[in-house]
């Protein structure tokens, strides 16, 4: 994965935050619309039930009035057929009753028609509101998916970008460290063994003149001094080779090489005690695993000495059938593992090395409480 240098992670985070805020607000608005529609749905449903009851009551009233209307018209027909047998007041009364019943029937049927129209309108509105509620619920669920993506998955993408950028910086640091290591080795060889070899050449010429001019005894004394110089040069060469890669790893294995290294470090750092505990140390591991463990423990111990100023460092190695566990514990000043320090790539390098070997690394530390590092690597 390639990360261009012009990508501003902070701007990307700001864009994501704005998107999260907008989607969150939209989700709230859709939810409000759904709630308002639901309240209106219940109100209209209640009104519709009332209207339905009124429609039934009006129909019953209209049916009763139709019966009365038929009876009134029949009576009116009887009166019309024989005016002579009825008084004028009675005839007028029959006409009034029939007219009033017809007016009531017409008014009732008109009211029934209006109520039916209102009922049908409310039923249609209920259908529309139900669709709105269902649509709002669907949209809320879809927006929730988007919101969860933005707040979780997309944040993970941001974290991945952060990690990728950090890995890129780590790669640059590795290149810089390699160049610095080459410079350091060049200086050490030039100032150490190379200078000593040049002195050996000069002293050998001097010994030859001393032998001719001053005799054997003084020549032998110079040879003894020359032997010390050669011994020192040899020690420097071996130390440089050991730093590059301890040859004892191939010959003796991890535990003996590590024991010798820790003893040397302890002798050099008089104020720090280093303990090594091993379980099933007789088992040899694959070469890449022995080198990785040696470097991981070396880095952990150096961090405890250099940064934690620990007075006690405990190293434990347990070699099992399928995996090997290394624990490095110190009583130093500790640190906050969550705090990110610019330019600090030691722990990141350890994690990278462990991940390449499909292992696990746990770093437990608190300010003032020391540090415990546990490394678990599979044996494959």
Q: How far apart are CA 201 and CA 129, in angstroms?
A: 102
Among the candidates 171, 206, 232, a domain finishes at 171
41 found inside a domain: yes
Residue 191 and residue 138 share a domain: no
Q: Is the residue at 4 inside a domain? A: no
Position 204 scores a pLDDT of 75
> What CATH number is attached to the domain comprising 372?
3.30.565.10
Domain that holds residue 337: 248-378
3 lies in some domain? no
Shared-domain flag, residues 234 and 313: no
Same domain, 148 and 234: no
Beta-carbon contacts of residue 109 (< 8 Å; ≥ 6 apart): 62
Domain boundary among 241, 261, 292: 241
Q: Dig out the tokens for 99 from the structure.
A: 């007219």
- pTM score, two decimals? 0.45
pLDDT by residue for the chain (380 residues), tens digit each?
444 444 565 666 677 677 777 777 777 888 888 888 888 889 989 999 999 999 999 999 999 999 998 998 888 888 777 767 777 788 788 888 888 989 998 999 999 999 999 999 999 988 988 888 888 888 878 777 777 766 665 555 556 556 656 655 655 555 565 566 566 566 666 666 667 677 777 777 777 777 777 777 877 887 888 777 777 777 666 666 666 666 677 778 888 888 888 888 888 778 899 999 988 766 788 888 888 898 899 889 988 888 888 899 999 999 888 899 999 999 999 888 777 654 445 677 788 888 888 899 999 988 888 999 999 999 87
Among candidate residues 226, 241, 256, the one where a domain is terminated: 241
**Strand ranges of the sheet holding 323-330, from the earlier edge strand across to the other edge:** 273-279, 312-319, 323-330, 371-378, 360-365
Same domain assignment for residues 177 and 66: no
- Shared domain for 303 and 332, answered yes or no, is yes
Question: Are the beta carbons of 65 and 104 closer than 8 angstroms?
Answer: yes
Residue 47 shares a structural domain with residue 30: yes
Asked if residue 195 belongs to a domain, the reply is yes
Q: Looking at residue 103, what is its pLDDT?
A: 92
Rounded distance, CA 157 to CA 167, Å? 15
- CA proximity to 76, closest of 53, 57, 102, 45: 102
pLDDT at 315: 95
Which residues make Cβ contacts (< 8 Å) with residue 178, sequence separation at least 6?
none
* Residue 314 contacts residue 329 (beta carbons within 8 Å): yes
In a domain, 374, yes or no: yes
Domain membership flag for residue 291: yes
Q: Which pLDDT does position 159 carry in this prediction?
A: 61
216 and 260 in a single domain? The answer is no
Clarify whether residues 127 and 217 are in a common domain. no
Within 8 A by CB and 6+ apart from 279, the residues are: 316, 317, 318, 319
- Does residue 210 lie within any of the structural domains? yes
- Let me know whether 153 and 54 are in one domain: yes
Give DSSP secondary structure letters for 178-215. Answer: HHHHHHHHHHHHIIIIIHHHHHHHHHHHHHHHHHHHT-
Whether 2 is covered by a domain: the verdict is no
If asked whether residues 125 and 261 sit together in one domain, one would say: no
Residues 99 and 61 in one domain: yes
Select from 178, 165, 183, 157 the least CA-distant residue to 342: 165
Residue with tokens 């919101």: 147
Total domains present in the chain: 3
| CATH code of the domain containing 91 | 1.10.287.2610
| Domain shared by 262 and 151, yes or no | no
């Amino acid at each position: 994965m390639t990360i261009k240098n012009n990508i501003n992670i902070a701007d990307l985070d700001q864009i994501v935050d704005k998107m999260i805020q907008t989607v969150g607000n939209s989700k709230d608005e859709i939810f409000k619309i759904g709630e308002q529609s639901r309240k209106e749905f219940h109100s209209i449903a209640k009104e519709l039930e009332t209207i339905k009851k009124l429609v039934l009551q009006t129909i019953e009233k209209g049916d009763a009035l139709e019966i009365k209307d038929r009876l009134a018209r029949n009576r009116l027909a009887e009166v019309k057929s024989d005016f002579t047998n009825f008084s004028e007041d009675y005839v007028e009364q029959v006409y009034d009753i029939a007219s009033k019943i017809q007016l009531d029937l017409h008014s009732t049927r008109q009211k029934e028609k209006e109520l039916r129209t209102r009922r049908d309108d409310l039923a249609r509105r209920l259908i529309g509101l139900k669709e709105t509620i269902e649509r709002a619920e669907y949209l809320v669920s879809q927006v929730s998916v988007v919101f969860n993506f933005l707040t979780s998955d997309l944040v993970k993408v941001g974290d991945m970008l952060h990690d990728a950028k950090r890995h890129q910086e780590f790669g640059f640091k590795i290149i810089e460290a390699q160049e610095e290591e080459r410079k350091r080795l060049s200086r050490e060889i030039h100032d150490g063994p190379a200078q000593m070899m040049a002195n050996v050449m000069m002293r050998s010429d001097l010994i030859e003149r001393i032998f001719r001019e001053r005799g054997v005894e003084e020549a032998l004394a110079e040879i003894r001094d020359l032997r010390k110089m050669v011994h020192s040069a040899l020690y420097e060469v071996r130390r440089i080779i050991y730093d590059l890669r301890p040859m004892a790893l191939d010959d003796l294995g991890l535990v003996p090489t590590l024991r010798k290294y820790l003893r040397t470090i302890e002798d050099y750092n008089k104020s720090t005690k280093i303990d090594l505990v091993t379980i099933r140390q007789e088992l040899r591991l694959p070469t890449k695993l022995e080198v990785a463990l040696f470097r991981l423990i070396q880095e952990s111990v150096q961090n405890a000495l250099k940064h934690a100023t620990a007075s006690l460092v405990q190293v434990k190695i347990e070699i099992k059938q399928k995996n090997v566990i290394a624990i490095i514990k110190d009583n130093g000043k500790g640190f906050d593992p969550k705090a990110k320090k610019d330019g600090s790539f030691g722990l990141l390098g350890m994690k990278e090395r462990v991940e390449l070997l499909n292992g696990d690394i746990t770093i437990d530390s608190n300010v003032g409480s020391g540090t415990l590092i546990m490394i678990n690597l599979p044996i494959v």
